[in-house]
Amino acid sequence: MAISRLQPLFLLLLLRAFGSLPTQAAARGGRDSSDDGDHRSFSRNLLEDKPHITEEMAHGYMSNTELETAIHTFGNRCSNISRIYSIGKSVNDFPLWAIEISDKPRQREAEPAFKFIGNVHGDEPVGREVLMHLADWLCDNYLKDPLATLIVENMHLHILPTMNPDGFALRWRGNANKIDLNRDFPDQFFSVNNDINYRQPETRAIMNWVKQEHFTASASLHGGALVANYPWDGTRDTSKRYYGCPDDKTFRHMASVYSQSHYNMSLSKEFEGGITNGAFWYPIYGGMQDWNYIHGGCFELTLEISDTKWPKAVELSIIWEHNRMSMLNLLASLIKSGVHGRIFAADTGRPIPGSVMIKGIDSKVRASRAFGDYHRIIVPGEKYEVMASMEGFRPKSTHIVLEQEAANLDFILEPDRADGQMKLLYNDDNGCPCGNSKMFHVQEAHLWLYLLVVCVLLTLYLVFKRKGASKLLTYKYSPRRSVAV
């Protein structure tokens, strides 16, 4: 009995070396097709033994240097709606370049943010090319195509064409240290990746990125299958079975938006409707999508967009066309559906970074610090009870019927006078106390404390001369910031 209980733990200790659980790989009938040497990793795509990626196969794909040039060329060509920045560097010191696309790309706004990530695995390069096609299409069609204009003007889209430039250059799955980056994130069930000293720089870059930006949703692009995958990616007992997260229904909806818009994904004979729960298909641990949902409040899909990991370059434009409407409709769904709004403090009228919950769904979506805006993805056509809350305030809830269009719902929360100290976090996203739209920390004391201060001041005034007391009061109690009373 004791031995059987130790087996899952023993398997998990192999995660960093092997990438996933070999027992499930055997169940799928093969091994991952991309790791080199003795470093083998088992993945969801078990279609063929490790192929040798020849120069002929790679011909027509952008090299890392060519991709870097293409990103900066795009930034110059479309500077009115884009910003180019780096989120970090790879093991071999190659910058991880990102593209932000918006009508106000250098400003924070009360709008949803979405990120696309490509080339998580070095031997799955299709995402690199497809994401550059997406960026170019949005630039070329802004103010010409209604869908392009809707996306550019109502959200902030962030595109990271390659998360793993080193693995791409080396023609293998993992990064330069041969670590599968989609097994390198902290896991909810097991602590195998909790030591930050062993975390890869590419992984740390993504984690810091998610903490800095307020992403509503995201997707990573992979190759080797044709399916939209959603959480959870693993199970508590490492078994292969359906294991849904609290927002399972919402994730199924998101995955279906992508699949149904695709040229042939929804016609899959292997995956009903072209979508799948990750743990039901093939459990993994330390995956990026589960970490995003748990720690970033970011609803992430893992999109397998090509049956072949490394298709011929002449097929890339076709793959882009097959995925174009899926990508655009997924982005547009963030704007055209769900519940959106802002949270304000009733006493000051200022936005506050509260949280929003849907009754019956055990997950919270936090509002941004800068604007108090939240963006909650939920399935349209149903009734919901929406509740906003924040420490130091009385929670407030309301019922809505979400039709096919998005619902706008603001909350004004009353301070909870019975709560010892009320914290109004008037901070920007970097924690810097600033003016106006930026926020600063304020602590409101009880009314008796203010009365006590008044009594002390009155006593000082009576004890000292009027002039001396006046100077003292001016020096010690000159207002330096707004205080919510």
Quote the DSSP letter at residue 446. P
Token pair 């509260």 is found at 354
* 324: CB partners within 8 A, 6+ apart: 133, 134, 137
Quote the DSSP letter at residue 22. H
Prior bond to 448 cis, omega within 30?
Answer: no
Work out whether strand 407-408 and strand 339-345 pair parallel, antiparallel, or are unpaired. parallel
259-265 long-range CB contacts below 8 Å, 24 or more apart?
Answer: 259/227, 259/228, 259/326, 261/325, 261/326, 261/328, 261/329, 261/330, 262/226, 262/322, 262/323, 262/325, 262/326, 263/321, 263/322, 263/323, 264/226, 264/322, 265/226, 265/227, 265/228, 265/326
59 burial class (0-12, 13-18, 19+ CB within 10 angstroms)?
Answer: exposed
d(CA 114, CA 122): 23
d(CA 406, CA 380): 8
Residue 204 carries which side chain, given as an amino acid letter?
R
Instruction: Report which of 155, 65, 473 is spatially closest to residue 338, judged by C-alpha positions.
Output: 155
Q: What is the set of active-site residues?
A: 304
120-146: burial string, b at 16+ Cβ within 10 Å, e else: bbbbbbbbbbbbbbbbebbbebbeeee
DSSP 129-177: HHHHHHHHHHHHHTTTSHHHHHHHHH-EEEEES-S-HHHHHHTSSS-TT
